[in-house]
A and B are shown apart, each in its own frame.
Chain A
Amino acid sequence: MWFRNIFSPKQQAALPPLFNEAFLRRLERLSLQAQRTLRGRPSGGAHLSHRLLPTSIFSDHRPYSTGDDYRYVDWNVYAHQDALFVKLGEIEQDVNIHLLLDVSRSMTWGSPPKLRAAQLLAGALGYLALAHNDRLHVAPFAATVQREFGPAHGKSRLIEMLRFIEQVQPGGETNLGAVLEGYARHHPRGGLLVLCSDLLAPEGLEAGLRAYLPPIWQVLVIHLLDPGELNPEPLGPIELEDLETGKLLPLVVDDETLAHYRRNLADWQRRIESACGKRGATCARVLSTWPLERQIIPYLRARQILT
């Protein structure tokens, strides 16, 4: 009935699908910028290794030693110098890509929720990893790491990966330090760690990042924020309710309070950047309202996280 629509609350606009096929195809042209120091397997992948190995792509020579493949002997040098030399060159390798996705309750806040932006970003990065033959791990976490996805290799796992990301359930408190430490212990081979989180945990980021030492690990921290967190409105006398802990804080949110809040926010962001800087991690602050293709990817490109 028409009058039901009049008196019923406005229908929440249906969120668009997380991933769009055409968009993912465009993402294929991108790739994650992994450091050469990362150890991978030379069997596949698109990342250059810092090691020079016998290869058909010539860049240097070394004397032949027993067991070297005859295919890489430079017979022209042998003709001139009567000594066997093997051609050396840069090889491509695959790397481990670890996507740590914060699914704590605080990520459900915002319009759209920050978790949605995180899912979108994780899906896009996961797609890049699979498309470039990297080994992908996706690990949602809150207080602990939940059921992981991966290691996955190749685009054949793409649908499975996207479905996994879509179906993550938010809940629980953030325990960043313990999660980071535990995850590093379980993955000693290292790789590229992408942490998508709002980082709303009292402590633990700096301690957690200690376990991710270069050159084994390369860490990218994507700090998700909602514009409402950056510029809250003066709401007057209210009771703030912590979404994760349920704690209440009676407060008068006026201009004076907001000034203090902004100072706290700036300090907090500085601490995060400092922690990342100390541990060699790259920190990128991303607003959850930014469109992925138009703002987030250009931003990550500018930060040389994507190439």
Chain B
Amino acid sequence: MSFLLPLGLLALLALPIIVLLHFLRERRRRVPTPSLLLWANLPRRVEGERSRRLPLTLLLLLHLLIAALLGVALGGPQIAGALTPDARHTAIILDTSTSMAAVDGGASRFEQARQRARAIVASASPGDRITLIAAGPRAQIVASGDDPFLITAALGRLQPGGVGMALDEALTLAEAALDPQFSRRIVVLTDGALPPQPARDVLVPLEWQTIGSNIPNRAIIAFASRPWGGRLQVYVRVANYEAAPFNGTLRVFSDAQVVAEERVAITPNGETEVSWTLTGRHGALRAVIDGNDALPQDDSAYLSVSQGRPILALLVSDEPATLRRALEAIPGVTVAVTTPSAYATAPERAAADLTIFDGSLPETWPPGAILAIAPPPGSSLLSVAPDVREIETGKPLQQRGRTLEELEFGGVVFGAVRQVETPQWAEVQLASGNLPLILRGRVDNHEIAVWTFNLASSNLTTRLAFPLLVARTVRDLAPPPLPQAVRAGESLIIRPDPRTTTLRLRGPNDQAITIPAASVVTLDTLVEPGLYQVEEQRNNAIVVAGVVGVNAGAAIESNLRPQSAPPLRAPGNDPGSASNQQMLDLWPWLALAALLVLALEWAYVLRRR
């Protein structure tokens, strides 16, 4: 028997304390008698003899037993052996990356892996446990227990998809999930399409089973575009994972129309890059290589080439000219102008994505993002001092935040500035001493920036920093556009418009999901290659719609040739469990026994009353 926490045995010191308490109680025990008449003249014992004798009462024995049981239980005793000494706990790590969808020998690699997993489940004895871990771009436990039907059902629900296999994460999960009371092992079922893995120690025996054979594959492993002077530059990289050269045709489609086509010749195990300059407007592009191979998922690539999220900026100013020019220079920004007095009736008021208040403030923050320039005093939204302060020229400014990164304010005269008390929701991004110049924050779903200086009294508008500052501020306040494309299984992070209530996502197979909007929405379930429509809705009306492409092709994933197992160091036998060191915790039984004795003691005391 061993003890997990030998320090807990110090609780056994209660035993002599209990004996002492009983001894003291016994010495003081006083028994009334009707008279000492008949007890007189009895031979008397000396006091010492009386004190040497410990009264062995049932109560003392029960107390000692309870204290001993609890004291030993606190030490965490364990004994060798287990209730089911031959029971095994197997963690099956099943690679669910896209490469497992490759058809190899009449069936997909994933189906072959699933069969092997089913065989492991079928070979389990009663009492054995199995934990099934799906390892795609992320690893997760999909089923665990000793019910083979449960595991088999979970296996049936798994589908391959996603670029990459989180092997390290899966191994960590398996090590944590395996019960040391059992004989443990990990079985990895994978085609080995992994990036180079660092050496790693695995705590339990590991069985690495490689699925698949050497089969050729062609894939589009990169697809990108960028606007170029009103046109669109498109870039495609195609890889040939075969020992023979490949000649084929690479086409680019826009709305089912071929907009570019080129014959490509790729050397064995080589790659080639193709680029085109497209004219006209395109929403989304699809590149296709006639690979005719085992993994058709990576023969196509998708890309959204929309111009990003349109922004309607409402400029509320009496002198809007300078700001208007700066705003209109930003791609995708539409500017509407009104005066502070007419703001209440401006038609763009509710629809504006960004409202810029120059020298005025509304009673409440309007929907969408807000840029407040030179806020006047007396507003309930910001605490602004009535008097103005002149900022000394040449005094260094405190600058922080990514928005102002590498912006040069040297030589800028900010002129008269009112002291704005920094609200709790804002942080200072630019300040002169204790006088904040630019504040940035978020309150009640409103992205807000505050420029405390007056553009009319400042020379900032004549500097190069001004249009940059305006553009960066607008981009910072407005929700970011969707990415052009993500890899299958990669997290798609969407920061929707603050006024959005729901997000609707429609996949390539026309399946749609609706999720409630939040400030940041992360989608991990995009594993099927294709174009996904993302709609930001407010009260079932579309606010913004966009497209994002999901691509399965990747240099790691598309190479279907067998890879060697990563350098994983695992013991041959389970050092922490099974027949050699399988330990059984005794403390619950001891605690239970203590409780029973306690109940017995209680009954005994009650009976004595």
Whether both chains belong to one complex is answered with yes
B interface footprint on A103-119 (CB within 8 Å = 1, 0 otherwise): 00111011000100000
| Contact status B36-A247, CB under 8 Å | yes
Q: B345 an interface residue at 8 Å Cβ cutoff?
A: no
A interface footprint on B20-50 (CB within 8 Å = 1, 0 otherwise): 0000001111111111111111111101011
| Contact status A236-B36, CB under 8 Å | no
| Contact status B34-A240, CB under 8 Å | no
CB < 8 Å neighbour of A238 from B31, B34, B609: B31
User: Chain B's nearest CB lies how many Å from the CB of A115?
Assistant: 11
Q: B176 an interface residue at 8 Å Cβ cutoff?
A: no
Q: How far is the CA of A236 from the CA of B30 in the complex (A)?
A: 11
Q: How far is the CA of A236 from the CA of B55 in the complex (A)?
A: 8
Q: In the complex, which residue of chain A has the Cβ closest to the Cβ of B52?
A: A237
B interface footprint on A230-254 (CB within 8 Å = 1, 0 otherwise): 0000011111111111011111100
Q: B58 an interface residue at 8 Å Cβ cutoff?
A: no
Q: In the complex, which residue of chain A has the Cβ closest to the Cβ of B45?
A: A252
CB < 8 Å neighbour of B34 from A235, A243, A257: A243
Q: B395 an interface residue at 8 Å Cβ cutoff?
A: no
Q: B157 an interface residue at 8 Å Cβ cutoff?
A: no
| Contact status A235-B38, CB under 8 Å | no
Q: How far is the CA of A105 from the CA of B33 in the complex (A)?
A: 10
Contact A198:B30 (CB < 8 A) given known A10-B609, A236-B53, A257-B43:
no
A interface footprint on B393-435 (CB within 8 Å = 1, 0 otherwise): 0000000000000000000000000000000000000000000
| Contact status A202-B37, CB under 8 Å | yes
List A contacts of B32 (CB < 8 A).
109, 240-241, 243
List A contacts of B50 (CB < 8 A).
237, 250, 252
Q: B606 an interface residue at 8 Å Cβ cutoff?
A: yes
Q: Which of the candidate stretches A29-37, A141-149, A153-161, A258-266 sits at the interface with the other chain?
A: A258-266
List B contacts of A198 (CB < 8 A).
34-35
| Contact status B35-A242, CB under 8 Å | yes
Q: A268 an interface residue at 8 Å Cβ cutoff?
A: yes
Contact A106:B53 (CB < 8 A) given known A236-B26, A251-B42:
no
| Contact status A241-B30, CB under 8 Å | yes
Q: How far is the CA of A261 from the CA of B40 in the complex (A)?
A: 9
List A contacts of B47 (CB < 8 A).
250
Contact A244:B35 (CB < 8 A) given known A236-B26, A239-B29, A250-B47:
yes
In this complex, how many residues of chain A approach chain B with their Cβ under 8 Å: the count is: 38
List A contacts of B37 (CB < 8 A).
200-202, 268
CB < 8 Å neighbour of A239 from B31, B49, B606, B609: B31
Identify the interface centre among B37, B47, B50, B53: most chain A CB within 10 Å of its CB.
Answer: B37
List A contacts of B35 (CB < 8 A).
106, 198, 200, 242-244
List A contacts of B29 (CB < 8 A).
235, 237-239
Identify the interface centre among B26, B29, B32, B35: most chain A CB within 10 Å of its CB.
Answer: B35
| Contact status A261-B38, CB under 8 Å | yes
Q: How far is the CA of A245 from the CA of B47 in the complex (A)?
A: 23
Q: How far is the CA of A202 from the CA of B26 in the complex (A)?
A: 30
Q: In the complex, which residue of chain B has the Cβ closest to the Cβ of A225?
A: B34
| Contact status B30-A264, CB under 8 Å | no
Q: In the complex, which residue of chain A has the Cβ closest to the Cβ of B31?
A: A238
Contact A240:B31 (CB < 8 A) given known A251-B44, A268-B38:
yes
Q: A256 an interface residue at 8 Å Cβ cutoff?
A: yes
List B contacts of A245 (CB < 8 A).
36
How many residue-residue contacts, CB under 8 A, span A and B? 93
Q: In the complex, which residue of chain A has the Cβ closest to the Cβ of B51?
A: A237
| Contact status A248-B30, CB under 8 Å | yes
Q: How far is the CA of A248 from the CA of B33 in the complex (A)?
A: 10
List B contacts of A249 (CB < 8 A).
36, 39-40
List A contacts of B606 (CB < 8 A).
10
Q: In the complex, which residue of chain B has the Cβ closest to the Cβ of A108?
A: B34
Q: In the complex, which residue of chain A has the Cβ closest to the Cβ of B608?
A: A10
Interface set, chain B 240-287, CB cutoff 8 A to A = none
| Contact status B30-A238, CB under 8 Å | yes
Q: How far is the CA of A193 from the CA of B322 in the complex (A)?
A: 131
Q: A229 an interface residue at 8 Å Cβ cutoff?
A: yes
| Contact status B38-A264, CB under 8 Å | yes
Identify the interface centre among A114, A248, A250: most chain B CB within 10 Å of its CB.
Answer: A250
User: Chain B's nearest CB lies how many Å from the CB of A4?
Assistant: 14
Interface set, chain B 47-73, CB cutoff 8 A to A = 47, 49-50, 53, 55
Identify the interface centre among B30, B36, B49: most chain A CB within 10 Å of its CB.
Answer: B36
Identify the interface centre among A107, A114, A240: most chain B CB within 10 Å of its CB.
Answer: A240
Q: A9 an interface residue at 8 Å Cβ cutoff?
A: yes
List A contacts of B45 (CB < 8 A).
237, 251-252
Q: How far is the CA of A1 from the CA of B44 in the complex (A)?
A: 50
| Contact status B39-A240, CB under 8 Å | yes
| Contact status A235-B609, CB under 8 Å | no
List A contacts of B53 (CB < 8 A).
236-237
CB < 8 Å neighbour of B41 from A9, A250, A264: A264
User: Chain A's nearest CB lies how many Å from the CB of B363?
Assistant: 60
| Contact status A241-B31, CB under 8 Å | yes
Q: In the complex, which residue of chain A has the Cβ closest to the Cβ of B57?
A: A236
B interface footprint on A1-43 (CB within 8 Å = 1, 0 otherwise): 0000000011000000000000000000000000000000000
| Contact status B33-A242, CB under 8 Å | yes
List A contacts of B30 (CB < 8 A).
238-241, 248
| Contact status A237-B26, CB under 8 Å | yes
Q: How far is the CA of A105 from the CA of B36 in the complex (A)?
A: 13
| Contact status A9-B609, CB under 8 Å | yes
Contact A235:B31 (CB < 8 A) given known A250-B47, A252-B45, A261-B38:
yes
| Contact status B26-A243, CB under 8 Å | no
Q: How far is the CA of A245 from the CA of B31 in the complex (A)?
A: 14
| Contact status A109-B34, CB under 8 Å | yes
Interface set, chain B 1-34, CB cutoff 8 A to A = 26-34
Q: How far is the CA of A251 from the CA of B39 in the complex (A)?
A: 9
User: Chain A's nearest CB lies how many Å from the CB of B54?
Assistant: 10
Q: How far is the CA of A268 from the CA of B124 in the complex (A)?
A: 86
User: Chain A's nearest CB lies how many Å from the CB of B2?
Assistant: 40
Q: How far is the CA of A229 from the CA of B42 in the complex (A)?
A: 16
CB < 8 Å neighbour of B33 from A109, A201, A260: A109
User: Chain B's nearest CB lies how many Å from the CB of A54?
Assistant: 54
Q: How far is the CA of A236 from the CA of B36 in the complex (A)?
A: 17
Q: How far is the CA of A252 from the CA of B31 in the complex (A)?
A: 12
Contact A240:B609 (CB < 8 A) given known A251-B42, A251-B44, A261-B42:
no
B interface footprint on A38-79 (CB within 8 Å = 1, 0 otherwise): 000000000000000000000000000000000000000000
List B contacts of A109 (CB < 8 A).
32-34
Q: In the complex, which residue of chain A has the Cβ closest to the Cβ of B46?
A: A252
List B contacts of A9 (CB < 8 A).
609
Identify the interface centre among A198, A243, A247, A252: most chain B CB within 10 Å of its CB.
Answer: A252
Q: Give A residues with C-beta under 8 Å from B.
A: 9-10, 105-107, 109-110, 114, 198, 200-202, 226, 229, 235-245, 247-252, 256-257, 260-261, 264-265, 268
> Other CB < 8 Å A-B pairs besides A237-B45, A240-B30, A261-B42, 13 of them?
A110-B34, A198-B34, A240-B36, A240-B39, A241-B31, A243-B33, A243-B34, A248-B30, A249-B40, A250-B50, A251-B42, A252-B45, A257-B43
Between A and B, 27 residue pairs with Cβ closer than 8 Å are: A10-B606, A10-B609, A105-B34, A106-B35, A114-B34, A200-B35, A200-B37, A237-B45, A239-B28, A239-B29, A240-B30, A241-B32, A243-B33, A244-B34, A247-B36, A249-B39, A250-B44, A250-B47, A251-B44, A252-B45, A257-B43, A261-B42, A264-B38, A264-B40, A264-B41, A264-B42, A268-B38
Q: Which 6 A-B pairs have the closest CB atoms?
A: A106-B34, A200-B35, A109-B34, A237-B50, A242-B36, A252-B45
